[in-house]
Amino acid sequence: MAAMTWQRLWSEIGRRHVLRVAAYYVAGAWVLAQAASLLFDAFDVAHYTRYVIAALVAGLPVALTLAWVFDVTPQGIRRTLALADPHDAPALPAGSPDERSIAVLPFANLSDEAANEYFSDGLSEEVRNQLARVPGLRVAARTSSFAFKGRHEDVREIGRRLNVAAVLEGGVRKHGDTVRIDVQLVNAGDGFQVWSRTFERRYADIFRLQNDVAQSVLAAVAERHGELPNALPCPQTSDVEAYNWYLLGRHHFHKRTRASLQRACECFEAAIGIDADYALAHSGIADALMLLCVRYYGNTAVDESVRHALPYAQRALQLAPLLAEAHASMGLICLNQGTLPEAENLLRHAIELNPGYLLGHLWLGLVLTRQGRYADAAARNREALRLDPLAPIVNTNAGFDAQRFGDTTEAEARFRAALDVEPAFAIPYSGLGRQAMMRGDGDEALRLMGRAVECAPGRWFFPTRLALMRLQVGDLAGAQASLEQARAGTPAASFDGDLLVAIAMAQGERAALESIARTDDGAFSALQRGQAALALGDLAQARAQYESGHPDARREIDEVLNDDWVWRLPHWINRAHLRLQGGDPQGRADLEHFLAVAAQVAAEGLVSGEIRYWSATAFGLLGEADRAFEALESALQAGWRHAWWAQLDWNAAPLRSDSRFPGWLARLAPRHPGVGSPP
């Protein structure tokens, strides 16, 4: 973040109410000093007054510091979040905001019970959703609006950050059977109030209350900027209790942690138990179940998540064929089933039904990435960033897009923008950790990845990534410990098999390699068993395993770029090398095919140190040493820092005998004395 300017410092002082606290403190201190003077005079100890005054003076900087650091919110005393530098914020569309644009800030919980926070959040979200269904009215996305929760920002700054013309804010008081909402519509251009109203209804009339608020906002906008079309219909429940459970489910869903998603499932299930035809609740539980799989925020096997989620998504579509959420739920399931064309069609239809539905855009970006259409995926994620510029997951996805295309500066900015809004979000720490390791800063990489592990305890991916980073800096014992931690929590993870083989190779654990190579119990694939056999020097078994395993060059490249696998072994090149070694001319053709695919990927603007290193070994096996070392240098420039693997890789044998290799290797992470000899 750029250094704070005087203008921005003054803005922060006002935002954090430092001057207000100073005024109150000085006034209170003066009153207290006067009272102390009178009291001490009465007891003939007036000389103590000076000590009271000294204590009050000393307390002023303490009070100002506390005012800077903390804030009093409806949820209690909270640490004040730093406001991102406007230069670091996502680029906004050029020009003034659309006059028919609005942001709905989270309503403050004014009830006596803090537990009602989900209810006030849910009401503001539902009012926002009703407004978003009005054609011609642009409504800021939920996550960006909620980024200002409890921050007491100037409305003009909020309008600038979200690029909207008006802001709706208010508070909710739930008392017994009565719900009261105080709202005001504020012009984001000058900060002046357009109108304010109070709505009060019985809890049983909550749907009417939401509708009244939304209609009043629409009327205010129409009065200033012309009539708007009627809102598109949305299937809703008529049962207040089911609706209450649904709101609570959404509240937990948006936290995106393993525990919160499990709780969201329970809440959606409770809503369905009351109203079995509640389509949104069926869609909600399908989404939560899928996000609990190992690819996202949980540890459930992908197939198991699909099996549980599919009936709910199918039921949601049956109940509400025009519900965007239901089509998106099915799209996410199809993505994880591997039926990518169907997933793309479902998600595009969801966006047609509701162009502002953020999850539709996000999940379509995942589908396009899985299809290897990286430029299209990046464009889709940029659209999501335009819709929801402050959403942590949107910024994170945009950061990984930038990383794929070699824009490390933009990647770092997006990851840090995500953490500015949600400091406990694990995934951006993982992205920043990779950035640090690519720069060669192993200590910082380990610190950041350790933070990711802390933020998402129990998730397999982050300790597995930490294991790889510990390998990179030569800490074999630490790598083994991290991998055991990951597998203890997630025995169902299928994406760490290559790393398990690689760690056994790095440790020189022949017994472990023999167990992998000789045991056909489904725990390891034929390709992984082939790599283990290679490490043992058993070329005959390795050749048999690789010929039966059917590696695919483009799929391996895409899996590196998609980052599903923490570490990917070069199976295609292994097989080509085995064929060359056996005198099969197909080996040369395989290597040339790989280089052609890698060149196509590079021509698309994609940057991967792993793919460049693989290309270097392919050139070496083809006898093109100069091109091999050009590729090695390119791999290093792209952030490839795996000295441990360069010393173990069977395919790098021709390069290790070249006099240029030691100098190149010395610029990578240091070799650990426990690394085994290459086969």
CA distance 638 to 613: 10
The answer to whether residue 321 scores a pLDDT higher than 50 is yes
Question: Poorest-confidence range of 181-190, 499-508, 615-624?
Answer: 181-190
Torsion angle of the four alpha carbons 83, 89, 90, 93, in this order, in degrees rounded to the nearest 10? 100
What sign does the dihedral 620-624-625-631 (CA atoms) show? negative
State the DSSP H helix or E strand holding residue 71, giving kind and residue range, or none if neither. strand 70-73
Percentage of the chain exceeding pLDDT 90: 52
Domains of the chain, each with CATH number or no CATH: 17-79 (no CATH), 96-225 (3.40.50.10610), 240-455+462-474 (1.25.40.10), 494-666 (1.25.40)
- Compute how many other C-beta atoms are within 10 angstroms of the C-beta atom of residue 42: 9
Q: Which two tokens stand for residue 133?
A: 């269904």
Higher pLDDT, 407 or 213: 407
CA distance 112 to 98: 38
Question: Poorest-confidence range of 203-217, 224-238, 361-375, 532-546?
Answer: 224-238
Cβ–Cβ under 8 Å, residues 333 and 309: yes
What sign does the dihedral 157-162-164-169 (CA atoms) show? negative
What sign does the dihedral 146-151-155-161 (CA atoms) show? negative
Confidence of residue 76 (pLDDT cuts 50, 70, 90): very low
pLDDT digits (tens, 9 = 90+) for 123-143: 888 888 777 777 778 888 888
Higher pLDDT, 255 or 306: 306
DSSP track, 202-237: EGGGHHHHHHHHHHHHHHHHHHHH---PPPPP----
User: What's the mean pLDDT in 73-85?
Assistant: 46
Q: Which amino acid is at 562?
A: N
The answer to whether residue 569 scores a pLDDT higher than 90 is yes
pLDDT digits (tens, 9 = 90+) for 270-287: 999 999 999 999 999 999
The answer to whether residue 80 scores a pLDDT higher than 70 is no
- The length of the chain, given as a count of residues: 679
Q: Which amino acid is at 105?
A: L
DSSP track, 577-641: HHHHHTT-THHHHHHHHHHHHHHHHHHTT---HHHHHHHHHHHHHTT-HHHHHHHHHHHHHTT--
Residue 109, phi then psi, degrees to nearest 5: -85, 105
pLDDT of residue 333: 98
Q: What is the DSSP letter of 111?
A: S
Q: Is pTM beyond 0.85 here?
A: no
Cβ–Cβ under 8 Å, residues 636 and 660: no
User: What's the mean pLDDT in 225-232?
Assistant: 55
CA distance 464 to 238: 46
Q: Which amino acid is at 261?
A: L
Q: Which two tokens stand for residue 346?
A: 């479902």
Q: Which two tokens stand for residue 236?
A: 């809703």
The answer to whether residue 675 scores a pLDDT higher than 50 is no
CA distance 557 to 549: 17
Torsion angle of the four alpha carbons 263, 265, 268, 273, in this order, in degrees rounded to the nearest 10? -110
CA distance 461 to 468: 11
pLDDT digits (tens, 9 = 90+) for 447-491: 999 999 999 887 888 999 999 999 999 899 999 999 888 877 665
Question: Poorest-confidence range of 13-17, 334-338, 543-547?
Answer: 13-17
User: What's the mean pLDDT in 512-516?
Assistant: 94
Residue 73, phi then psi, degrees to nearest 5: -120, 170
pLDDT digits (tens, 9 = 90+) for 46-64: 777 787 888 878 888 887 7
Residue with tokens 């048999």: 544
CA distance 649 to 679: 8
Q: Which residues pair with 175 in a beta bridge?
A: 178
Task: Give the burial string for 503-515 (b: 16+ CB within 10 Å, else e).
Answer: bbbbbebbebbbe
